[in-house]
Amino acid sequence: MSQIALETKQLNIFYGEHQAIKEVSLAFKKNEITALIGPSGCGKSTYLRSLNLINREIANCRIEGEIWYSGRNINTEKEDVFALRKNIGMVFQRPNPFSRSIYDNIAFPLRRHGLTDKQRLDEIVETTLKQASLWQDVKDELHKSALALSGGQQQRLCIARALAMKPDVLLMDEPTSALDPISSGAIEDVLAELKELYTIVIVTHNMQQAARISGETAFFLSGQVIEYDRTSAIFRNPKEQKTEDYISGRFG
């Protein structure tokens, strides 16, 4: 049996009175890529952001239910979110590099977590830029501003920055939707390699992308999970009519 890296049990998420996620129970396998798909507004981002408690920062957002990680339920007041986000990293839809150098985008968060050794920082910067397939592009200009990179390069830098924390789990919210097909393809190639080392949960609107990169897929509709299975089963032989309608482009 595969091991589970992260699991939600009967998760409900509310924005004030509005319930955006209803009774969602999913278990994410270690070293697997799981895709979350579904039409706009069905709650994919809301769910993804709960997995490292980022939406706790939204004033009227309430998360009820259990989120199991590393042998404990993290959906409690006493959970240290600063430490948690080191283990469960996130890459957003729009590349959001800091307005600092390429080097510092990776080194700054590490310094905040107490790593100051220059040689060690240099090593991590190089390794993670290689993992994110950006090293060849930037190795001679590490001290240039990250904002001078292209969108696709910025997104790869954000992936490198997330990897530098050595997370167990990487959450990605439509990481390629703002990019051209070549940059998206480069990022998909990176993900295929990272899968060996990390557990990845990725939101995508792109059905072909979900089919290409993920081993498991969860289909969301109106805040609920309609179907969760191996990606090949979801795309070739869905059990639910609603899933079939969605993947064949009949709505959404």
Ligand X SMILES: Nc1ncnc2c1ncn2[C@@H]1O[C@H](COP(=O)(O)OP(=O)(O)OP(=O)(O)O)[C@@H](O)[C@H]1O
Q: How far is the CB of 46 from ligand X (least distance, A)?
A: 3
Residue closer to ligand X by CB (options 41, 151) is: 41
Q: How far is the CB of 235 from Mg ion (least distance, A)?
A: 21
Q: Which does 238 bind (CB under 5 to 8 A by kind): Mg ion, ligand X, none?
A: none
| Binding status of residue 175 toward ligand X by CB under 6 A | no
Residue closer to Mg ion by CB (options 8, 45) is: 45
Q: How far is the CB of 172 from Mg ion (least distance, A)?
A: 11
Contacts of 120 (CB under 8 A, 6+ apart): none
- Give the count of beta carbons closer than 10 Å to the beta carbon of residue 193: 11
Which burial class, exposed, middle or buried, applies to 111 when counting CB atoms under 10 A from its CB (0-12, 13-18, 19+)? exposed
Query: Is residue 169 within 8 Å of 51, Cβ to Cβ?
Result: yes
Contacts of 96 (CB under 8 A, 6+ apart): 158
Residue closer to Mg ion by CB (options 41, 141) is: 41
Q: How far is the CB of 45 from Mg ion (least distance, A)?
A: 3
| Binding status of residue 99 toward ligand X by CB under 6 A | no
Residue closer to ligand X by CB (options 40, 116) is: 40
Query: Hey, what's the torsion of the CAs at 189, 194, 198, 201, to 10 degrees?
Result: -10
Q: Which does 15 bind (CB under 5 to 8 A by kind): Mg ion, ligand X, none?
A: ligand X
Give the helix ranges, DSSP H, for the chain: 44-50, 81-87, 102-112, 118-131, 135-138, 151-164, 181-194, 207-213, 231-236, 241-247
| Binding status of residue 44 toward ligand X by CB under 6 A | yes
| Binding status of residue 58 toward ligand X by CB under 6 A | yes
Footprint on this chain of ligand X (rule: CB under 6 A) = 15, 18, 20, 38, 40-46, 58
